[in-house]
Amino acid sequence: MHIKKKTVLFFSILFLAFATLVSANEAIIKTDNLNIRTGPGTNFEKIGQVHSDEVYPILQEQEGWVEIELTEGTGWVTDEYINISSNKDSKGANQSDMEPVTEKTITIQHDNTQLRDGPSTSYEIIDFANEGTKFNVLSESNEWYEIANDDVTGYVLKQLIKKEESTSFNGMNNKTIVIDAGHGGRDVGAIGATGTHEKDFAFKTTQELKQELTALGANVVLTRKNDEFISLGSRTSLPNILDTDAFISIHYNSFPEMPNVTGIGAYFYDDQNEKLAKDVLQGIAKETGARNRGATFGDFHVIRQTFKPSILVELGFISNPEKEQLLQTNAYQKKLVTGLVNGLNEYFANK
């Protein structure tokens, strides 16, 4: 009696080890009402059906047929209507293989999508989700999402979720952003085609940008709050003492000798800030249609002496009479700011 129990246990363990070992591949069913048969061929008896987006461990493959592990027993289906996913995770996959994820949501694509108790098909199916159901992603591995909503928490195979959304990502929340309106007071900056001053354009953009970023939850700090002269030193000390996520110095260009020249550009001092400069420029160019003159190294005090992510942007040529007019309009300023915010969001999302 004693020996027999041990033998049973031994074979149980052997079976479990074997089952785990051979479930390295998975069949994802691609059609409804696919017949399950007792052997690898249409001459074998039908014992049931499987349906779209169900996932089963594969036990073996033979000449166009696969044997799959069903809830009860096993059966064979043709490989014509399945996708085979080689799930390297499934051998001993567990919760510790999952990387935490924040602010990502997924939407179930098909009715009766299987949710499992763990990140492999060797875990039990605990629930089914219907098309359109939204879940927050808690963690992920190469193959699996751990998902949750108010009703259920479980694991779903990534292949079943074709569309990923990241709608809830708001890169601005709680970010400290220092905006530096170039020039001011007796330092008027560049002179526009009709005698306008760069300092006024920069100030207008800064005010608009502050409003927008604040609305998105950012902590916005301005180096200059009025039309006043501010030393370069105090422009950089502010971002340096704060926990600054981005410092943006706002400028406009002028090239009176060639009034046809237009476009936007950005400067970075440290190579690490090239991405910030590029993302912001791309955001603006996309929103405004302005010519992107590119991001380049620039040896300017405000970016050289700021030891936080910092760039200097040139948002247009006020020496071009048409652009000078356009840049003064609220509509264009709003576009500039929208583009700038989109660029910053891109930067924070993929930093």
Size of the site for Zn ion (CB under 5 A): 3
User: Quick check: 35 and 46 in contact, CB under 8 A?
Assistant: yes
Burial (CB count within 10 angstroms: exposed 0-12, middle 13-18, buried 19+), residue 26: buried
Token reading at 203:
């100030």
* Closest approach of Zn ion to the CB of residue 334, in Å: 21
| 90 CA to centre of own chain | 26
Nearer to Zn ion, 118 or 184 (CB): 184
75 binds Zn ion (CB under 5 A): no
* Closest approach of Zn ion to the CB of residue 187, in Å: 9
Nearest to 325 by CA among 215, 230, 196, 219: 196
* Closest approach of Zn ion to the CB of residue 306, in Å: 16
Nearest to 78 by CA among 118, 125, 31: 31
* Closest approach of Zn ion to the CB of residue 209, in Å: 16
DSSP 186-226: TB--SB-TTS-BHHHHHHHHHHHHHHHHHHTT-EEEES-SS
Distance between CA atoms of residues 347 and 284, nearest Å: 13
* Closest approach of Zn ion to the CB of residue 245, in Å: 23
DSSP element (H, E) containing 106: strand 105-107
**Which residue number places its CB atom closest to Zn ion?**
251
* Closest approach of Zn ion to the CB of residue 89, in Å: 54
Nearer to Zn ion, 68 or 312 (CB): 312
**Contact track, Zn ion, 253-292, x by CB under 5 A:** ----------------------------------------
Nearer to Zn ion, 57 or 189 (CB): 189
Nearer to Zn ion, 154 or 182 (CB): 182
Q: How long a stretch of residues is the chain?
A: 351
Contacts of Zn ion in 212-251 (CB under 5 A): 251
Residue 79 has φ and ψ, to the nearest 5°, of -85, 0
Contacts of Zn ion in 167-196 (CB under 5 A): 182, 189
Question: Contact positions toward Zn ion, by CB under 5 A?
Answer: 182, 189, 251
